[in-house]
């Protein structure tokens, strides 16, 4: 049986997930990494699509496994009233429920906030939707790139004088999840201090706009509407990604005259009057970028990073997926770490973004479907072996 | 009632990540005391956007946005007197937030290594580019270089040609906002435990790890050996006709991956002849580059004649996933943002009244609220005597 008291700041908190795909599961993952016991409720008839993408075996789906380590899984048929009753029984023994089903779906299931609150008055109920659960556009749905487009981000990413190119298509869900996780923990803190639970309504689109707050402020103060401008930055120049030998890319960001002085010395551009101040570098930025590109073009990216860093310049290789998975610093910090699945097989996962004293232990790979039925129905809900068997026989649990 | 009322936070931060983290707590009612260098204050006071007029220390819209509900005390902790004052303050606060480079905290007399012995109840959070003790070739960093080191940069934008440079993310500080969010999450969780355990904690946030962890769906598969890694710029991409298209009044984004989307499009367009050139269920089963290109051409021709909001509303009602690509002006006009009161008017003594974007979560019992504008430099210095 899984060891459920793993340390960490949220040890003892029980979270139930009614979630699908990425954003909702990401909330549970963050809370599990902080020590909470996180139980996914799944139904064979309405599986999370990430359990089936690209594989026949729903217990080996790579996408699902990437986002659901250190969680428990129970399988309940939520189309049957007995199934909903079981879910409510579990929620009455839980602290948090997180849902990101389609707009209105939890209400139709009979698991809306009012119903859950009647079973568990101090529940923290977290509802996640593209536009939030209410309002004139809350009926609309979409995926991650829609959140970034609606939230004002996509228009800001792209080459100069080109149509917008948008953030990477994988960006948005996890940021939305992180915002929801923070609000959840704030509500748990309030509950611990006062005994009061509450309803939290999180908007994916607003979570995106929060990532460009200062850009929005420029419109509020000065009516300035920003558009994509390549890699330009009002306060830094050079500020770009430059091609090096072997088709590799080097990012450089110069934020002071002092660092430019160091860099211009390395480039042999100390006396170039075109670049002598930040204002001049901005005014002559095309020439500046040409000069930097000419300097990097035939050089090795790693040597350049070392040279620039040794001279106080912010520079980093633009890392491909090969570089990332091999990044020794990420391995050394425990960002990549090993867990074990039900069959005893070891598997690498992405760990938390943080290190902290008295961390929660992270030991388990993502659960098989219904792997923890016996624990949840037997130990938590106190059902006898016979009662559990009856539920299984009637297809309520499997 | 506020979720974090009565919690005292000392902010040593001087850049966006730590100030945003402090704001997330102060907007939930925490008492955040910001220490600023006398005379010049936080460096974010000298970053735009700037209002047209006013005292130079008070004109920054960035500072105004990041520091709502906080108090400003002018104190230089790098001096002997400042360090002594800091030592006293540390006995009276619950949380310290910092975002200077690794090693700075030790220099001012707040060594994370001695936290347990000297301040056992203190929650101390340090946000840095690559975590504590970065390797020699990662000592100097900005948000942009961290973004490029995290995997997000190399793969931005999706569908990039190999000879075009990787791009920055949206805005200037996305990296910092992301890191501030995880920092606020870890601090809140630590406070939750501390209510009972009475124990503090050191939290070490690496911006690189925050951004890389946001890619867990793909990067997790890669590190597990379930998905190929490569030097391809498109390695994270999903292929198909989805993308941004020009409209009459801007741009729209259309997502298409399932038969229901294709059916929705057929209904919306009134069953046009060109759609019959495509086999049924081609999106799932026969999604060739040629078909994608052709489909995109037809969609581009059609959307060029449409208005983004109007066509999005029609499409959504038919199950087609199509949305407007918004800018700041569109967001200010959004009926949904108005309904959720996402923008709050904040009255600042120098900047005047301005709409601030708020937070993406609505809490029924303890909503985040902006009750005071960002402080003037040193506005609360004189109250420090009785404050702690």
pLDDT at B274: 95
Segment B42-56 mean pLDDT: 93
Decide if B371 touches A, using CB distance below 8 A: no
pLDDT at B387: 44
Q: Determine contact, residues A91/A116, Cβ cutoff 8 Å.
A: yes
How far is A150 from A130, CA to CA, in rounded Å? 10
Name the helix (H) or strand (E) containing B96: strand B95-98
Task: Tell me the per-residue pLDDT of A191-237, one tens digit each, with 9 for 90 and over.
Answer: 999 999 999 999 999 999 999 999 999 999 999 999 999 999 999 99
pLDDT at B29: 98
Alpha helices in chain A (DSSP H): 23-33, 62-67, 81-91, 105-109, 113-119, 144-150, 173-194, 204-209, 213-222, 257-267, 278-283, 285-296, 301-310, 321-326, 328-332, 373, 385-393
pLDDT at A45: 87
Query: Considering all CA atoms of chain B, what is the largest pairwise distance in Å, rounded to the nearest integer?
Result: 80
Task: Tell me the per-residue pLDDT of B136-184, one tens digit each, with 9 for 90 and over.
Answer: 999 999 999 999 999 999 999 998 999 999 999 999 999 999 999 999 9
pLDDT at A269: 92
CB atoms within 10 A of CB A354: 27
Query: Roughly how many angstroms between the first and final C-alpha of chain A, as a whole number?
Result: 18
Binding-face residues of B in 330-349 toward A, CB within 8 A: 330-332, 334-337, 339-340, 342-343
Greater pLDDT, A301 or B55: A301
* pLDDT exceeds 60 at position A13: yes
Interchain CB distance below 8 Å, B326 and A149: yes
Query: Considering all CA atoms of chain A, what is the largest pairwise distance in Å, rounded to the nearest integer?
Result: 86
pLDDT at B280: 86
One DSSP character per residue, B248-282 reads TTEEEEEE--SHHHHHHHHHHHTS-GGGGGSPTTH
Residues 6+ apart with CB under 8 A from B161: B233
Decide if B83 touches A, using CB distance below 8 A: no
Least confident of A44-48, B101-105, B294-298: A44-48
Strand, coil or helix: B152: coil
Strand, coil or helix: A302: helix
DSSP B227: S
Interchain CB distance below 8 Å, B136 and A309: yes
Decide if B24 touches A, using CB distance below 8 A: yes
How far is B242 from A45, CA to CA, in rounded Å? 28
pTM: 0.98
Strand, coil or helix: A53: coil
Q: Determine contact, residues A151/A171, Cβ cutoff 8 Å.
A: no
pLDDT at B386: 44
Omega within 30 of 0 (cis) for the link into B49:
yes
pLDDT at A332: 97
Q: What pLDDT band is residue A313 in, cutting at 50, 70 and 90?
A: very high
Q: Determine contact, residues A30/A181, Cβ cutoff 8 Å.
A: yes
Query: Among A152, A319, A353, whose Cβ lies nearest the Cβ of B210?
Result: A353
Task: Tell me the per-residue pLDDT of B322-349, one tens digit each, with 9 for 90 and over.
Answer: 999 999 999 999 999 999 999 999 999 9
- A336: closest CA of chain B, how far (Å): 8
Residues 6+ apart with CB under 8 A from A344: none
Task: Tell me the per-residue pLDDT of B267-283, one tens digit each, with 9 for 90 and over.
Answer: 999 999 999 999 988 99
Residues 6+ apart with CB under 8 A from A257: A277, A278
Interchain CB distance below 8 Å, B141 and A146: no
Interchain CB distance below 8 Å, B189 and A231: no
Name the helix (H) or strand (E) containing B356: strand B352-357
- As a whole-number percent, the residues of chain A with pLDDT over 70 amount to 99
CB environment B79-100: b (16+ within 10 A), e (fewer): eeebbebbeebbeebbbbbbbb
**Residue tagged 């707050």 (tokens):** A213
Q: What is the ipTM of this complex?
A: 0.98
Query: Among B145, B150, B360, whose Cβ lies nearest the Cβ of A210?
Result: B360
* pLDDT exceeds 50 at position B388: no
Kindly list the residues from chain B whose CB atom is less than 8 angstroms away from the CB atom of residue A161.
none
Binding-face residues of B in 166-225 toward A, CB within 8 A: 166-174, 177-179, 181-186, 188-193, 195-196, 199, 201-206, 208-210, 212-225
How far is B27 from B70, CA to CA, in rounded Å? 9
pLDDT at B347: 97
Segment B194-219 mean pLDDT: 98
* pLDDT exceeds 70 at position B123: yes
- DSSP-assigned beta bridge partners for residue B321: B255
Omega within 30 of 0 (cis) for the link into A238:
yes
Burial class (CB in 10 A: 0-12, 13-18, 19+), A283: middle
Interchain CB distance below 8 Å, A355 and B145: no
CA atoms within 13 A on the CB side of B88: 11
* pLDDT exceeds 70 at position A2: no
Q: What pLDDT band is residue B285 in, cutting at 50, 70 and 90?
A: confident
Interchain CB distance below 8 Å, B137 and A224: no
Kindly list the residues from chain B whose CB atom is less than 8 angstroms away from the CB atom of residue A313.
140
* pLDDT exceeds 70 at position A366: yes
Structure tokens at B74: 């002018």
Identify the CA nearest to A191 among candidates B122, B195, B360, B203. B195
Decide if B111 touches A, using CB distance below 8 A: no
Segment A15-24 mean pLDDT: 97
Chain B residue nearest residue A156, CA to CA: B170
Q: Determine contact, residues B44/B16, Cβ cutoff 8 Å.
A: yes
CB pairs under 8 A between A and B: 520
Strand, coil or helix: A364: strand
* pLDDT exceeds 60 at position A276: yes
One DSSP character per residue, A133-185 reads SSSTTTT----HHHHHHHTT-GGG-S-TTS----S-TT-SHHHHHHHHHHHHH
CA-based torsion, B152, B156, B160, B163: positive or negative: negative
Kindly list the residues from chain B whose CB atom is less than 8 angstroms away from the CB atom of residue A8.
189
**Residue tagged 């290109």 (tokens):** B293
Identify the CA nearest to B355 among candidates B337, B382, B380. B337
- Mean pLDDT, chain B, rounded, equals 95
């Amino acid at each position: 049986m899984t060891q459920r008291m793993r340390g960490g700041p949220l040890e003892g908190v029980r979270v139930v997930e009614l979630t699908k795909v990425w954003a909702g599961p990401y909330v549970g993952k963050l809370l599990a990494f902080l020590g909470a016991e996180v139980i996914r409720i799944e139904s064979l008839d309405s599986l999370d699509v990430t359990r089936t993408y690209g594989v026949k075996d729903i217990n080996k789906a790579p996408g699902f496994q990437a986002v659901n380590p250190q969680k428990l899984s129970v399988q309940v048929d939520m189309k049957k009233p007995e199934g909903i009753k079981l879910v409510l029984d579990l929620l009455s023994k839980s602290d948090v429920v997180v849902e990101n089903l389609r707009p209105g779906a939890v209400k139709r299931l009979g698991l809306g906030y009012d119903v859950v609150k009647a079973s568990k008055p101090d529940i923290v109920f977290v509802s996640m939707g593209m536009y939030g659960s209410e309002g004139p556009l809350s009926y609309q749905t979409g995926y991650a790139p829609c959140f970034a487009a609606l939230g004002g981000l996509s228009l800001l990413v792209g080459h100069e004088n080109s149509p917008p190119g948008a953030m990477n298509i994988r960006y948005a869900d996890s940021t939305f999840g992180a915002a929801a996780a923070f609000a959840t923990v704030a509500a748990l803190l309030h509950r611990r201090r006062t005994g009061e639970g509450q309803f939290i309504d999180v908007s994916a689109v607003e979570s995106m706009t929060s990532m460009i707050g200062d850009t929005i402020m420029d419109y509020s103060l000065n009516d300035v509407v920003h558009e994509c401008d390549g890699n330009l930055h009002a306060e830094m120049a050079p500020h770009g990604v430059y091609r090096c030998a072997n088709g590799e890319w080097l990012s450089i960001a110069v934020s002071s005259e002092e660092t430019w002085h160091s860099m211009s010395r390395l480039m042999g551009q100390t006396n170039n009057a075109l670049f002598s101040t930040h204002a001049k570098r901005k005014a002559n930025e095309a020439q500046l970028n040409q000069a930097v590109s000419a300097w990097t073009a035939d050089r090795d990216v790693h040597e350049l990073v070392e040279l620039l860093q040794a001279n106080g310049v912010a520079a980093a290789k633009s890392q491909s997926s090969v570089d990332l998975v091999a990044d020794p610093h990420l391995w050394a910090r425990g960002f990549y770490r090993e867990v074990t699945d039900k069959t005893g097989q070891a598997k690498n996962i992405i760990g938390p973004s943080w290190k902290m004293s008295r961390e929660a232990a992270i030991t388990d790979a993502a659960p098989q479907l219904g792997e923890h039925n016996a624990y949840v129905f037997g130990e938590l809900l106190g059902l006898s072996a016979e009662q559990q068997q009856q539920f299984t026989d009637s297809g309520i649990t499997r | 009632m506020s979720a974090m009322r009565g919690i005292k936070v000392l902010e040593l931060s001087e850049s966006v990540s730590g100030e945003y983290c402090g704001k997330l707590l102060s907007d939930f009612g925490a008492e955040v005391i910001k220490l600023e260098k006398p005379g010049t204050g936080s460096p974010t006071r000298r970053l735009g956007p700037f209002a047209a007029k006013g005292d130079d220390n008070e004109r920054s819209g960035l500072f105004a946005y990041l520091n709502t509900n906080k108090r400003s005390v002018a104190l230089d902790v790098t001096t002997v007197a400042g360090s002594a004052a800091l030592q006293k303050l540390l006995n009276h606060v619950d949380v310290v937030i910092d975002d200077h480079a690794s090693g700075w905290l030790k220099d001012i007399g707040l060594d994370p290594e001695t936290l347990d012995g000297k301040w056992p109840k203190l929650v101390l959070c340090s946000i840095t580019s690559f975590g504590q003790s970065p390797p020699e070739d990662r000592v100097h960093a900005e948000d942009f270089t961290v973004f490029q080191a995290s995997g997000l940069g190399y793969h931005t934008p999706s569908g990039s040609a190999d000879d075009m440079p990787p791009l920055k993310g949206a805005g200037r500080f996305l990296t910092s906002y992301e890191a501030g969010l995880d920092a606020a999450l870890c601090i809140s969780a630590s406070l939750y435990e501390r209510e009972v355990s009475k124990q503090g904690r050191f939290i070490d946030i690496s911006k690189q790890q925050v951004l890389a962890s946001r890619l867990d769906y793909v990067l997790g598969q890669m590190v597990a050996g379930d998905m190929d890694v490569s030097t391809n710029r498109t390695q994270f991409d999903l292929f198909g006709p989805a993308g941004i298209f020009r409209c009459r009044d801007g741009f729209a984004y259309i997502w298409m991956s399932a038969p229901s989307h294709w059916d929705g499009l057929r209904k919306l367009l009134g069953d046009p002849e060109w759609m019959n050139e495509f086999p049924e269920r081609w999106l799932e089963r026969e999604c060739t580059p040629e078909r994608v290109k052709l489909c995109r051409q037809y969609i581009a021709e059609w959307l060029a004649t449409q208005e983004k909001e109007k066509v999005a509303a029609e499409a959504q009602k038919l199950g087609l996933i199509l949305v407007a690509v918004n800018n700041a002006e569109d967001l200010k006009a959004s009926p949904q943002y108005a309904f959720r009161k996402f923008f709050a008017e904040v009255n600042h003594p120098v900047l005047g009244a301005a709409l601030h974007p708020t937070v993406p979560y609505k809490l029924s019992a303890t909503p985040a609220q902006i009750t005071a504008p960002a402080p003037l430099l040193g506005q609360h210095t004189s109250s420090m005597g009785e404050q702690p």
